[in-house]
Structure 1
């Protein structure tokens, strides 16, 4: 099998865009398209879904992507050994995160990259409805997400990394802070769409947590945007940093509130993933949190 074709395939699978893949490989787009078509003919299976608007990996293409990365890495290390030198890179690791988890892993990622410079790391953020799709097709090696989202991962092994500690966040000058328990009835609360379940709303009623209205958003950044604009109080994880003109109060309920987990596919044998999981095992995750 031609390793040049594999490199073109890997670049296209990474970008899901023939033009960007061509730019990365320093060839014309027609070369990429022709080589991918040749590879599909050689394998006898389609690797991509194509239409005028987007390019997506087929399920077989997703499986082949992981194997292709390993083959190219092995080929490069073999050539290096033949020339009497060791490759400085021993693997590639793709980390997926949901809307809230950027701040959760920021310090962890900083230290891991410093301690393991031989591993190339890339990070990808997805909404909670897209992350399971990416995980289940092996487009990320490991994911930091909520336990609610991780239930859609198949197969997956999960480990809790942060408890369900959430707060209501808003501007310091809001009248709400004078008496949060009473004033909550006159305030909107901005929540993630993923959290808006019947069980959550029922538990709010049982716990006496009855804001004026629940407003939905699909990303942490847009929750903050809405809170800063005065749309309401944002319900966010406790570990999230606040600005000088913001304050928070703990959410007065724990049931049906997600905690945070790290998840991986136990059938994924990427050596870089093994290094990362061992690193998590050997280090106290709480020491990496932004306080």
Structure 2
């Protein structure tokens, strides 16, 4: 099986139409049908249910579709890397980041890229557990995450890039959104929308925070992305505790309000790299971060 075969299958699975897939891949519809049949024969698995009107993925086809997309993505990245090296762009920096670090990463890679135009930067967002695992396994050169995600790791170099206060995201349709600051009394017996167990705040950490500041949630809804959190908050499903920087670039109909909590501290977000990583761009990037932090002090 070739990458081209996978491309044909991915197109057919995406469109659920051999005709549309053939048009996208610039081949005849009969050729597309023949290619899919050859793939099924090689795998000895039926990938599509076929009727006169439409095609539909089988359970095996759905599983193969997910893996085929990943293989195709890795192939494209490998091809890009090979071509970059051939053109003289022989240094690559793989950066991973989590749910709450998008803005931090974008702020840091821009000046680095301007200073180091020959370094190819690849960005990928991961759940925090996967992010830390990828750092340990050298799949990411540098990761951006809350500091508490790396406290158990040894042999890492870290730079605290930003520290943010916890603030409350609330729909502008909620009367509380008109307040200048929110107290624990405002939040008692309210619904909270939080990241799930693979994200920034584990259920235990959220429970500890609530106990510490005297909040007793009516209900906790856990979702897996920041976009999901903000969409549910905007729709009025509940409140969420978020980093304060979101207030600077909030595209939703949401208010971000300071949270007045006794003894609450800012949450540090760090960049981390393995001390054993001798990749020159990694060392240059971490050095730049330290200099930026010093300049801001």
TM-score (norm 2): 0.62
Question: Is residue 279 of structure 2 the alignment partner of residue 276 of structure 1?
Answer: no
* Aligned partners of 2:230 and 2:252 also within 8 Å: no
- The one of 243, 248, 257 equivalent to 1:249 is 257
Q: CA deviation at 1:88?
A: 4.4
1:215 maps to: 221
Contact 1:158–1:261 (CA<8 Å) still a contact in 2?
A: yes
Matches within 5 A, 1:13-24: 19=3
1:219-269 Cα shifts (integer Å, max 9, x gaps):
212111211222112221111222373212223346587421110001011
- 1:250 aligned counterpart, secondary structure: strand
Q: How far 1:108 moved relative to its partner?
A: 1.8
Cα gap change, 1:207 to 1:155, in 2 (>3 Å):
same
Q: Is the 8 A contact 1:190 1:216 kept in 2?
A: yes
Deviation at 1:89, TM superposition (A): 2.3
**Gapped regions of structure 1 (runs ≥ 5):** 1-17, 24-50, 56-67, 78-86
Task: Give the Cα–Cα distance (whole angstroms) in 2 for the partners of residues 96 and 237 of structure 1.
Answer: 19
Please say which structure displays the higher CA radius of gyration.
Answer: 2
In 2, Cα distance between equivalents of 1:286 and 1:231: 41
SS at match of 1:129: helix
1:48-127 alignment, distance < 5 Å: 54=67, 88-127=88-127
SS of the aligned residue for 1:259 comes to: strand
In the superposition, the TM-score normalised over structure 1's length comes to 0.64
User: Aligned pair in 2 of structure 1 residues 203, 274: CA closer, same or farther (>3 Å)?
Assistant: closer
Residue 174 of structure 1: how far off its partner (Å): 0.7
In 2, distance between residues paired with 1:175 and 1:286?
41
Secondary structure in 2 matching 1:163:
strand
2:163, 2:266 within 8 Å by CA — same for their partners in 1? no
Residues 136 and 154 of structure 1 are in contact (CA less than 8 Å); yes or no, is this contact kept in structure 2? no
Deviation by residue 1:134-178 (Cα, 9 ceiling, x = unmatched): 111111100000112223545422222222411111222212235
Distance 2:284 2:189 in 1: 50
CA distance in 2, matches of 1:286, 1:168: 30
Matches within 5 A, 1:150-169: 150-151=150-151, 153=153, 155-169=155-169
Query: What is aligned with 1:64?
Result: none
Count of residues in Structure 1 that have an aligned counterpart in Structure 2: 221
Deviates more, 1:249-258 or 1:134-143: 249-258
Q: Is the 8 A contact 1:166 1:250 kept in 2?
A: yes
Q: What value does the CA root-mean-square deviation take over the aligned residues?
A: 3.6
Indicate the residue corresponding to 1:175 in structure 2.
175
- Relative to 1, partners in 2 of residues 1:238 and 1:286: Cα closer, same or farther, differing over 3 Å? farther
